[in-house]
Structure 1
Amino acid sequence: MKKLLFALTTIFIIGFSTDTFAQYDYNWAVGFRVGEPLGFNVRKYFQNGDKAFDINIGTYGFIYNRQRRYNAGEYKTAGLMIQGIYLWQNQVFNRDWAHVYYGFGGQINNRSHYADILKNEKIDHIKKISLGPTGTAGIELKIPNQPLAFFVDAGLYIEALPSPFFWNGQISSGLRLNIIK
C-alpha cells in the first residue's frame, strides 16, 4: 500500500508540473511537519527558488511504524532523526502559489532496538544508529499575501547500515514560514 501511494503521488506531481521555475522572494523558510518524520524543518532556497535544501530534525517512527519487526527483533519506540534533502521545484499550472518538489538526500536515525536474542539477558534493548538514502516528492501551496505555505509530501527511506534494504515510507504535512528576503 505504501509503495502504491508513493508511486501515485510521484506520478501526479511530475505529471502536473511545468517547466516554469518557482520565483521565490525568500531565501529561507522554517516550519513544523506532522507525520513521518515529525519535527522541525528548515529550507534554504537557491537561485530563483527552483532548487532548495531541506533539513528535517525530529522523530523517526513516532506516528506510525512504532512497533515493527527489525533485524531479528523489533522497534517499540520512536527515535531521533536528522535528514538532509536536495530539492528541485516547479510551479503547477503556471501558478505562483502552487509548487511541486522532489529530491534526494540522506538520513541518520537513533532508535532503541529490542532484539530477540537479548530477551534472556539483563539488557532488554540496545541503541541503534542507522543511516541511508532518502527521497521525497510533494506539493507546497502558498497562502496569498502571506509568508506562510502549507505542504504535503511523501517519500521513502532505505537503510544502508546496519540493516541494508530495510525501508520505511514517510508521509507528512505541515506549515512553513518563509523568512529573510
Structure 2
Amino acid sequence: MKKLVILTAFLTAIAFQTQAQYENNVAVGIKIGEPLGINIRKYFQYGDKAFDVNFGTYGFLYGTNRDYRKGNYQKAGLMFQGLYSWHYSLGKNQGLKVYYGFGGQINYRDYASEENIIGTRQDGEKHVSLGPAGNAGIEYDLPGNDVGVFLDGGVYTELIPDLLFLHPQINAGIRVNLVRR
C-alpha cells in the first residue's frame, strides 16, 4: 500500500512538471460509480490530450461478492489507474468534448479461495492484480466557470494473476480546472 501511495505521488509530480500550452492545464475531480474516487487530470497540447490519475475503490458499486478464479472477491478494494487520452470537440461547441484513452490499473482486494473458506482464514487473503484499462466518455464544460461534468465507461482487463478477467467500469463525475497559465 505504501508503494502505491509513493507511485501516485510520483506520477502526479511528473504531470505537474510537464510544460503545457493550455490555459486550464490541471483539473481535480471526483468519480461516482465504478470506480468511486478521486481524479487528477493533466492536459497537454491545448487540451487535445491528457493524462488521468484515478484512485479509489474497486468493486464497490458492483462485484463486491463476485466469482473470481477458484473462489470469490470479498468486499470492495482499492484501485490506482493511469490513463492517457485523446479529446475532441463536438461541432463548434468548445464546451462539449468526447474522449477515449488507454492505460493500466492496479488493484488491492480481499480474495477468498475455496481453500481459505474450508480452512481457518474465512476472511480471505490480500490480493494484488494488474492489467490494462481503457475508457471513453463525454464531458461538458459549464459556461462561465472552470467546472466540467462528465460521463464515461470502460473496461479493466486483468492480466496478473487471472488472465483476461474483465471488470466493466461506468461512472459520472465533476472536475474543476485548477491551474491557469
TM-score, normalized by length of structure 1? 0.86
What is the SS of the residue equivalent to 2:47? coil
- How big is each residue's C-alpha offset from its partner over 1:61-108, in whole Å with a ceiling of 9 and x where there is no partner? 001111110010001200000000000000012211100000100000
Which residue in the other structure is 1:167 paired with? 166
SS class of match (2:109): strand
Superposed CA deviations along residues 114-153 of structure 1, whole A, max 9, x for unmatched, are 1112122111211110000000000000100010000000
Alignment-mate amino acid for residue 117 of structure 2: K
The aligned residue for residue 110 of structure 2 is: 112
Picking from 88, 97, 101, the partner of 1:90 is 88
Say whether the 8 Å CA contact 2:38–2:55 is kept in structure 1.
Answer: yes
C-alpha separation between the residues in 1 aligned to 2:65 and 2:96?
Answer: 36
Mapped to 1, the partners of 2:130 and 2:145 lie a distance apart of 37
User: Structure 1 regions of 5+ residues with no counterpart?
Assistant: 1-22
Please give the alpha-carbon distance, in whole angstroms, between the structure 2 residues aligned to 1:97 and 1:140.
Answer: 8
Q: Which amino acid aligns with 1:145?
A: G
**Aligned residue in 1 for 2:128:** 129
Instruction: State the shift of 1:112 in Å.
Output: 0.2
Describe the SS at the equivalent of 1:119: helix
Runs of 4+ aligned residues of structure 1 deviating over 2 Å after TM superposition are: none
TM-fit CA distance, 1:24: 5.3
Matched, 1:154 2:153: yes
Q: What residue number does 2:43 align with?
A: 45
After TM superposition, the structure 1 = structure 2 runs for residues 6-85 of structure 1, keeping only pairs within 5 Å, are 25-85=23-83
Distance 2:74 2:65 in 1: 4
The whole-number CA distance in structure 2 between the counterparts of 1:117 and 1:71 is 12
TM superposition shift of 1:41? 0.3
Matched length: 159
CA distance in 2, matches of 1:122, 1:131: 27
TM-score normalised over the length of structure 2:
0.86
Cα distance in 1, alignment partners of residues 143 and 107 from structure 2: 36
In structure 2, the partner of 1:15 is: none
* Structure 2: segments with no counterpart, 5+ residues: 1-20
- Partner secondary structure for residue 117 of structure 1: helix
- RMSD (Å) for aligned C-alpha atoms: 1.1
Question: Between the two proteins, what is the percent identity of the paired residues?
Answer: 48
2:177 aligns to what? 178
Greater share of residues in strand:
2
Distance across 2 between alignment mates of 1:61 and 1:165: 17
